[in-house]
Chains A and B, each alone.
Chain A
Amino acid sequence: MTNKEILIVCRSTPYGSSNAKEALDLVLAAATFDQSVTLLFSGDGCYQLIGKHQSERIHSKSMERMMSALPVYGVDNIYIDALSLKKRAINPELINASAQAIDTDTIKSLYESATTVLHF
């Protein structure tokens, strides 16, 4: 199998739809097959990385807990769009430490270097 550089862009809120969970399922599947995966959170996807989720209060599986499995699967390239945070008045200190805030130029280069880009 040819190795791909997969960029997965999470643009949805964690519990408003099933998009966030489907993205994560794909990340874990791709990583299992030793594909190179980069994860970018932008737009409403930034909300996925805020604080400590008490998702049992809305009878949902914790997206935050599922995300904590990523390093085990060797997914270390996790980024978040600094501009999206600013637009949403999200204090960067609230964001999960595993994600690195990056600017527009860096995001552009992520899109350019990927062989496959998937939006969720």
Chain B
Amino acid sequence: MPTATLHTLNKPESHAELNEELARVISPDDALLLLEDGVYQALRLDVTESKDWSALCEHVYILEDDLHARGLKPPSNPNSTVISYLEFVKLCVQYDKIVSWY
């Protein structure tokens, strides 16, 4: 039985190869957490023509401290959820494994 993975991503979209490799391996059951400079990618979640991981992943989480520190607002995309550090810890426990993209 396949296991669900929590992917974390801490780079903006200019790191194109990172995004491509992530898109190649992510499954619909997996979750993606945007943190540090990765939160800038939340800007694209409301843009429909995206063809990378944002189209493949149904559970996108965004770390709220990193989002607000950078002057960003939560996206309106219904698949995305802004979470606290405490909820980050809960996700780490909930998923079978964690893959860090950096």
- Residue A53 at the chain B interface, CB threshold 8 Å: yes
Please judge, given known A-B contacts A13-B37, A15-B37, A16-B36, whether A88 and B13 are in contact too, CB under 8 Å. Answer: yes
Interface residues of A in 36-94 (CB under 8 A from B): 43-44, 47, 50-58, 60, 64, 88-90, 94
* Secondary structure class of chain A's binding surface, majority of residues: loop
The tally of residues in A whose CB lies under 8 Å from a CB in B reads: 22
**Chain A residue at minimum C-beta to C-beta distance from B12:** A44
Q: Are B43 and A90 closer than 8 Å at their CB atoms?
A: yes
CA distance A16 to B72 in the complex (A): 15
**Chain A residue at minimum C-beta to C-beta distance from B15:** A44
Enumerate chain A interface residues (CB-CB to B < 8 A).
13-16, 43-44, 47, 50-58, 60, 64, 88-90, 94
